[in-house]
Structure 1
Amino acid sequence: MERSSDAAQTRSGGNRRSRFDVFVEHAELRVSQAPFFFLCVAIVVAWFISLPWWTDLKTWQVAIHTVASVFTLLLVVLLENAGRRASEASQEKLNVIAEALAAMLDSSAFDDPELRTAAKRLREAVGLEERH
């Protein structure tokens, strides 16, 4: 029962990530570190300090809300993409471990029907996330 998932095919094809995937990886690394947090705090502080230069309080509030909304949307999309890829990679690793364990159970299950049943159930569970 030789089955190759997308992750396994990617792995066998080498590291052919798109520019977007590379960008997402770098963006995730940068936004998950303390300097990015402090940059965001500095932007909020600068916005707060800029109140005297705005003639209309509502425009001052709309400025930060608009910037924050657009920035949040972009970050959510990037981080969801990174999270999805990490989840797929973890699932592929679990599938490979389950396949190896099932093969070990098969090799030891000559006289033990419980081991054969366990190996069969394990093989059926591999790739279960793709069927649901």
Structure 2
Amino acid sequence: MTVKQGICGEILWKAGNLMPSPDRPVSQGRPVVRELFIYELTNMEIAKPKDGFYQFIPTKLIGKVTSNEQGEFCIDLPEGQYSLFVKEDKKGFYANSFDIAGNIYPVTVEKGKASQITFVIDYKAVY
């Protein structure tokens, strides 16, 4: 699963008590099958979450890809800046990373390169 230009990575699920403890290793998360949605770069000012989830993304959907059983995915994309979201059944779109300008889960695709990401779904985790 490789692309010459786009985004590749993994999607991981984290849940439960993840507070640091000297007698428990830090959870790296477990791979999950999820649909990853790639939108034009989207700012928090125009896509407002409700209860931590986005019900509507007002920017253009560029593509989507589903991760495999190991949580891995790859998608070919043109050069540009994008926002990533996963769809959670009955909840909406989820993203938990932002840049200083308020862009939601921003990823840049450069000419001839595949950006590597790890998308962590952790809305049921306590840190």
The TM-score with structure 2 as length reference comes to 0.20
Q: Which has the higher strand share?
A: 2
Larger fraction in helix: 1
Which protein shows a greater Rg?
1
